[in-house]
Structure 1
């Protein structure tokens, strides 16, 4: 067993969550949680401390209702909340039907739909997770069947101009399910790591280049404690050295500072 794994024997999570982070001293009381409801094709954000997570407690929601004949937004599968310089808060959303997109979050509109999608693509092959690289502007989508990373890059010096984002390259990765940007204690793209969870392994990538020349370089991979299908990948906001993830067997914490590579 790899020393950097600390196993919490919990049931694997069957929902997808993302945290809207606040300063450390406020997190316990104030953070919000985003969840995906596949039945209603809706992402909902709730204050963590709500007494009941019902319709009256919804802080913000996005519904991808495309009707019966357009199924590419069916089965919403993942959501992350991010804050970017130009647009403020955004939601990164994937759907197993084939789509991935960026949704605008504003105080003026707490219930939004497809008209509020700022950028979208159709990587196909069961998209499950999406991430945006800070400052660089590149977007990475993990699709699980058979498994790939789809890289979309800005072709303009204004990396916040989502109309100028173009598909650059696909990278094979068996069972790709989770993708997460980790600043790794630094402020530059070069200092950070892009983590990807797939079948049997957790992978570490570096983001190289900029604009249309942005590329991904795999630098390490780490075997899961048991050979299982990786599922969800999240940061631990209480510990910058830790990643939280799930697979077919359990939920885990992974210490990124004490990791040792397995090939």
Structure 2
């Protein structure tokens, strides 16, 4: 899926995360053009407090499952914490693993102008790179938590400069997370590559959401930047209670869920037990 061409045509880009075969199969069949195997799996799949403990091997493992379930969407794999920051050589080696072993079509890297030389090197060897600006979860401790970035005019101008630097380095798209709407609008206007927002207002070229947020797989947490299209956690809890009742009352399994021997075979079987 060519999302750069989608921006040129003025088509907005819907993106979702996925972490396994089943979720990827469902959203790919629905037509989502961009699937991110995010390091958010550390939080929504593993139950971690942050994305920091996620390893490259884990991202590769989940990417392999998503790749089996997807037929048409662009698959983008998150480069996890410290898989690309130490050296360009690390970034090259680890990005190559994510493409060849994880079967993704591109990688995503957090950071602004300081990471641009690494992005340029990756792009030059044929590795497509999506950038990530604003709140960058791998810097959660340095940023003091998931907070809006670019609220001060100078910080906002720096984000615009960072976006231009990522574009110049060869990034094909930029995720803008927790950025004021006006800042996201200016970035989207000033770069030729797609901007994919999350908590960045309506003026980006597209929007990415976490699978578990969008479909209500949590019973309590609802981030402000998401919209609940389903309440899966509530439905599963209700269905589970019904399942418990059916088993307790002996109504499940029933005849429809049961196979058995024929009458003659039953007789022969029971005769053998008396020998």
TM-score (norm 1): 0.27
Structure 1 or 2, whichever has the larger Rg, is: 2
TM-score (norm 2): 0.27
